[in-house]
Amino acid sequence: MSSHARFYDVVRRIPRGRVATYGGVARAAGSPGAARRVGYALAALGDRDDVPWHRVINSKGEVSRRSGGTGFEHVQRALLESEGVVFDARGRVDLDHYGWP
DNA sequence: CTAGTGACTGTTT
DNA sequence: AAAACAGCCACTA
């Protein structure tokens, strides 16, 4: 089993309508400070529907940008709004309210 | 083995 | 407030 599976498992536990930070996922997976590996793991994930990768955002409460500039942030924002997450005028999420402990 | 890179974070300008 | 810097570690060439 790859260490990535551990991160995927944590992301799967994020309840619908909530979001988690990369650092938070890394910490919950038992590897604090491994935020970069979480991002790498999700990037390597590809098209899997069983992992709600759109619920994982950065510490600023904003959606991170992928290499290649694919305009992916708009898609992720739409997916989160579809689950009841509200973005503010700056395109950010209130982690104090929607952040998953 | 070394070097470069990245869905990040926290501190300092 | 936003931008720049440094630290971090797995993966690829």
Name the nt closest to A40 by C-alpha to C1'.
Answer: B7
The answer to whether domain A3-98 has CATH 3.60.20.10 is: no
- Name the residue ranges covered by the structural domains of chain A: 3-98
pTM reported for the whole predicted model: 0.93
A1-28 burial, b at 16+ Cβ within 10 Å, e below that, comes to eeebebbbebbeebeeebbbbbbbbbbb
Give residue-wise pLDDT tens across range A50-92. 999 999 999 999 999 888 767 888 999 999 999 999 999 999 9
Distance between the alpha carbon (CA) of A2 and the C1' atom of B9, Å: 24
Comparing A12-16, A49-53, A58-62, A95-99, the range with the smallest average pLDDT is A49-53
Strand B closer than 7 A to residue A22 Cβ = yes
Name the nt closest to A38 by C-alpha to C1'.
Answer: B7
Strand B closer than 7 A to residue A71 Cβ = no
